Amino acid sequence: MRMDIRRPLTARDLVMTATEAELADIFFYYGEERQARRIAKMIVEERKTKDIASSMQLAALISRAVPRRFHPPKKHVATKVFQAIRIAVNMELENLSTFLEAASGVLKIGGR
């Protein structure tokens, strides 16, 4: 999920080391996942007994954490969580903010 492999934080590191509250916030704010707390709690419980080493393993865990009635009909239930993890690992919002600040100095006044 990392765009820049020189960055030290991997998706696995995030999933295996973040606190329950940190995971829930990441899933809620970056993925707009309504079941963020439930998913975060299950991840923390699961990693106490075994390593979450693959995306398939994480997707299955998320699928078990979210009640069936909340599974979206046309996409995988883990999609929003994976999006949130990608955004957090790559610091996408921070990078976007930096880009926009730098871009304002390049544009002409009144430019498009």
- Residue 111 lies inside a defined structural domain of this protein: no
- Residue 50 lies inside a defined structural domain of this protein: yes
- Residue 109 lies inside a defined structural domain of this protein: no
Q: Residue 111 — φ and ψ, nearest 5°?
A: -70, 165
Structural domain tally of the chain? 1
Helix, strand, coil distribution of the chain in percent, nearest 5: 65, 0, 35
pLDDT in the model for residue 4: 65
Query: Do residues 22 and 36 touch, judged by C-beta distance below 8 A?
Result: no
pLDDT in the model for residue 2: 59
H or E segment to which residue 65 belongs = helix 55-65
Give the range of the structural domain holding residue 15, as residue numbers without chain letter. 11-104
pLDDT in the model for residue 92: 84
pLDDT in the model for residue 58: 98
Averaged pLDDT in 10-residue chunks for the chain of 112 residues: 72 96 98 97 97 96 96 95 95 83 80 68
- Residue 35 lies inside a defined structural domain of this protein: yes
- Residue 15 lies inside a defined structural domain of this protein: yes
pLDDT in the model for residue 108: 79
- Residue 18 lies inside a defined structural domain of this protein: yes
Give the number of other CB atoms < 10 A from CB of residue 19. 10
Q: Which CATH number is 74's domain given?
A: 1.10.150.170
What are the residues whose beta carbons fall under 8 Å from the beta carbon of 7, sequence distance 6 or more? 89, 90, 91
